[in-house]
Amino acid sequence: MITVSSLTKSRAHVRVLEEVSLAGAEGTVTALVGPSGSGKSTLLRCLNGLETFDAGSITVAGHRLEPGPHSPGLLERLRRDVGMVFQQFNLFAHLSAVDNVALAPRVVLGMSVDESRVRGLDLLDRVGLRSFANARPATLSGGQQQRVAIARALAMRPRVMLFDEPTSALDPAMTAEVMDVIVELAQAGQTMVVVTHDHGFARRAATRVVELEAGRIARQGAAADVL
Amino acid sequence: MKCLLCAVLLVPALTSATVAADLDKVVSRGELVWAADQEGGGPHVFPDPADPRQLTGFEVDLAALVAEELGVKARFQQGQWDRLPLLLGGTADCVINGIELTPDRQRDYHCSRPYFAYSLQLLARRDGPIDTLAKLASPGPGGRWRVGVLTGSAAESVMRSRTDLEIDVIGYDGTIDSLEQVSTGVLDAAVMDDCIFTFYADRFRRLRTVERPFEGGFYTILTARDTPQLSAAIDAAIGRLIADGRLKALYDHWDLAGRQQMLLLRDAAEIPVARRKSLGELCRDTLPLLLKAAGMTILLSCLAFPLAVGIGLAVAVGRMHGPAWLRPLLTGYVEVLRGTPLMLQLYAIFFLLPKIGLALPALVAAIVGLALNYSAYESEIYRAGLKAVPPGQFEASLALGLSKWQALRHVLVPQAVRIVMPPVTSDFIALFKDTSVCSAITIVELTKRYSVLALSTGRIVELAIVTALLYLCMSWPLALLSRWFERRLERPAGGSMAEG
Ligand SMILES: Nc1ncnc2c1ncn2[C@@H]1O[C@H](COP(=O)(O)OP(=O)(O)O)[C@@H](O)[C@H]1O
Ligand SMILES: [Mg+2]
């Protein structure tokens, strides 16, 4: 489902990623750990084409990314199959919770307003927020916002989900409610890559743990071995 | 608004004897300040073609002769023709500029004895259908005939009073603007003092005089009512110039048929003085016209502003996300429109486009001009608004599989639009007031209507107050709306709003 081979990326003459290779089979959970600035976010953002890279290649959900210009529409097609959840939630500020979730199915998949709304409500139900369907993001707590953001990413039925420190901006109580949702997803067989500092979560849910250090893979293996 | 204020400020000058310069002040100053409009002003007052820094014209010579009779020098003061009388008392001692002797002017100013006899001439294209004045009595192929006149002139009031003719009378700020418009086919005909067309005939070879002049009257020198000695001195000066033949010589020098002028002046009829209207009559006669003009102001704003916003948004998006070759072009568009006056842009659209075969009706030209001008400002506002949307919103859209344009349309632009609501609303108020500039291209909106009515009724103050109130009634709700948007932005919005 995910194959990264010899990925190398520089930013202003600084190597951010060097010869990174890893693989994630369907239904596995890969935890990306490592100190701050080690390149975890950069690697994750390469996986859905938000960042470009200099050498190596990526295959994710059947789409292949290489350095240099992409064929038109490749990124859009890839991103339909690869959802992402950000540390800062990035919910659409002008839309209600349900409209946040329903937007991409309607705009990208061409669903009708009613159809996309039904899907939105279902997903809000799944993250326990159906009663907040009409609330604006600004009126929700951080934990609630992140759960809406997860529902929003799931609305495209992605084959792979990427999480970039999904709980770092949350207090412990809210961290738990978001982590529960992610663990549930993992148990349901969703393929995912999760950047996290939470070793408890890695032990509980991760199939594999990959540790980055200064842009290189320091260690990888089963959670019990790496951590 | 601006000339409203001027008018209000000028009123004390018109009414208080302490400000107006009577003869002794003129003499001690050594200068007679005379006001006229040099724009398209031949043969009266115009820049000398040989040296455009110098003014020439028969009234320049007349002013010099009159000043000489008073024992002083003449000094010229430029003003917009239909508002020249407002300069009296404060800025100028007298107005010498083809001002026709009318009952209204007799009531509001001191009018000197006539110094020139004019006749009104109908003008049309040589190849056009109008060959008699009577032709105008039945509609033309395009409906009512469009006839241009100088705003505030006798030609205007005569043509407007001709209810027997199937014509729309359109007022211009410059004497020869209407000749241009007849040449390019925007107008069917023009009416003006015969001596003006005689003077400019070579420049407008496609035009011809239609029949003989059909009506006429006299030019007078205007002075303020509270400078009786100056007025008397000017009357006496004209009398001496006629008696000793200097005025005849002056007209002969300008090819204005001096002997015939002297015969006509000898028979100058007494013009009656118009009655001052009561306040009730004033309201009855002017309010409907002012309200209609306010309607024009609203129409212009409400059509031009949405256009400006639409174009502005497109330009902003193009400058930030469009193809590389387009960006400098759009930047140029914005800078040219922001860097040149609205008045000039309106002129270009209305007077220059017809020369390349694109004649827009005045209302369309006004709306297009306002919309283009304001689109430059709106695009800058939207650019700032788009920049103010957090970058995470764009990334989140892309990560969901939206294309750049889908992200713009469904996420970035809707948020930017909300962010810039307050400045955009206050720009609407600004545009609303800027509609008054459109009077330069014959649109009669509220300010123009005020200025015309104030001059014809002599009730400058009363009408200024009414007009200002009308403007306030219209802009106040907009100001409230702007504040409401601001408050709405400050508190987090609740409730669902299905978008798209
Ligand atoms: N937008 C950026 N511009 C320049 N350098 C960046 C940018 N984002 C991250 N970096 C640098 O790239 C390196 C890797 O960053 P990142 O992938 O964010 O690390 P992590 O997520 O592991 O904390 C760091 O040295 C960081 O300073
Ligand atoms: Mg990071």
DSSP result, A40-82: HHHHHHHHTTSS--SEEEEEETTEEE-SSPPPTTHHHHHHHHE
Same fold across B25-113+220-266 and B279-499: no
Distance A55 CA to ligand 2 centre (A): 21
A4 forms beta bridges with: A22, A58
Give the contacts of B417 (CB within 8 A, at least 6 positions apart): B313, B382, B385
Q: Is the alpha carbon torsion for B231, B237, B240, B246 positive or negative?
A: negative
Q: Which residues of B touch A99 (CB under 8 A)?
A: 496-499
The amino acid present at A190, given as its one-letter code, is: Q
B400 near A CB under 8 A:
yes
A136 near B CB under 8 A:
yes
How many residue pairs from chains A and B have C-beta atoms closer than 8 A?
A: 89
What are the C-alpha distances in Å from A96 to residues A119, A120, A136, A146, A200?
A: 14, 11, 4, 14, 33
Residue among B54, B30, B57, B26 at smallest CA distance from B41: B57
Q: How far is A154 from chain B (nearest CA, A)?
A: 9
Confidence (pLDDT) at B39: 84
Give the contacts of B221 (CB within 8 A, at least 6 positions apart): B66, B94, B95, B96, B99, B111, B112, B115, B234, B238
> Which residue is associated with the tokens 């890969």?
A30
Q: How far is A226 from chain B (nearest CA, A)?
A: 30
Domain B279-499 in this protein, CATH class: mainly alpha
| Yes or no, beta carbons of B396 and A133 under 8 Å apart | no
Contact B251, B261 (CB under 8 A): yes
Six token digits for residue B295 = 């309607």
Rounded Cα gap, residues B39 and B80, in angstroms: 8
| Yes or no, beta carbons of B493 and A106 under 8 Å apart | no
Residue among B99, A38, A37 at smallest CA distance from A20: A38
DSSP result, B280-322: HHHHHHHHHHHHHHHHHHHHHHHHHHHHHHHHHHHHHHHHHHS
Nearest CB among B400, B418, B498 relative to A79 is that of: B400
Helix (H) / strand (E) containing B447: helix B446-457
Confidence (pLDDT) at B146: 94
Residue among B32, B66, B60, B36 at smallest CA distance from B48: B60
B329 forms beta bridges with: none
Q: What is the pTM of this model?
A: 0.80
Confidence (pLDDT) at B486: 76
Residue nearest to atom 27 of ligand 1 (CA): A37
Any idea what DSSP says for residue B113?
P
| Yes or no, beta carbons of B399 and A98 under 8 Å apart | no
Confidence (pLDDT) at B430: 92
Please report which ligand is nearest the Cα atom of A87.
Answer: 2
Q: Is the alpha carbon torsion for B129, B135, B141, B142 positive or negative?
A: positive
Q: Residue ranges of the domains in chain B?
A: 25-113+220-266, 116-219, 279-499
The amino acid present at B486, given as its one-letter code, is: E
B218 forms beta bridges with: B117
Distance of CA B398 to the CA centre of its chain: 52
Average pLDDT on A11-29 reads: 92
Q: How far is A78 from chain B (nearest CA, A)?
A: 8
Q: What are phi and psi of B441, to 5 degrees?
A: -115, 40
> For the ranges A74-78, A222-226, B406-410, which has the lowest average pLDDT?
A222-226
Confidence (pLDDT) at A152: 97
Name the stretches of chain B with pLDDT < 70.
1-20, 40, 269-270, 489-500
The amino acid present at B259, given as its one-letter code, is: R
Q: Is the alpha carbon torsion for B328, B329, B331, B336 positive or negative?
A: positive
Any idea what DSSP says for residue A34?
-
Looking at the domain B116-219, which fold is it? D-Maltodextrin-Binding Protein; domain 2 (3.40.190)
Six token digits for residue A177 = 């409610």
**Other Cβ atoms within 10 Å of B5 Cβ, number:** 11
Is the domain B25-113+220-266 a CATH 3.40.30.10 member? no
Confidence (pLDDT) at B20: 54
Residue among B394, B370, B492, B154 at smallest CA distance from A139: B492
Residues A168-205: tens digit of each pLDDT: 999 999 999 999 999 999 999 999 999 999 888 888 88
Average pLDDT on A30-56 reads: 94
Rounded Cα gap, residues B71 and B58, in angstroms: 20
Average pLDDT on A23-28 reads: 92
Q: Dihedral through CA B100, CA B104, CA B110, CA B114, nearest 10?
A: 30
A78 has a pLDDT exceeding 90 = yes
**Other Cβ atoms within 10 Å of B183 Cβ, number:** 18
Segment 49-108 of chain A within 8 Å of chain B by CB: 50, 75-77, 79-80, 83-84, 86, 88, 90-96, 98-99, 103-104, 106-108
3 state SS of A38? coil
| Yes or no, beta carbons of A91 and B396 under 8 Å apart | yes
Rounded Cα gap, residues A71 and A64, in angstroms: 11
A132 near B CB under 8 A:
no
**Other Cβ atoms within 10 Å of B184 Cβ, number:** 19
Nearest CB among B403, B414, B494 relative to A76 is that of: B403
Average pLDDT on A127-147 reads: 95
What are the C-alpha distances in Å from B119 to residues B156, B196, B198, B216?
A: 13, 10, 12, 4
A41/A72: higher pLDDT: A41
Confidence (pLDDT) at B490: 62
Rounded Cα gap, residues B138 and B147, in angstroms: 14
How many CA atoms, within 13 angstroms, populate the side-chain half-sphere of residue B78? Answer: 8
Rounded Cα gap, residues B282 and B353, in angstroms: 40
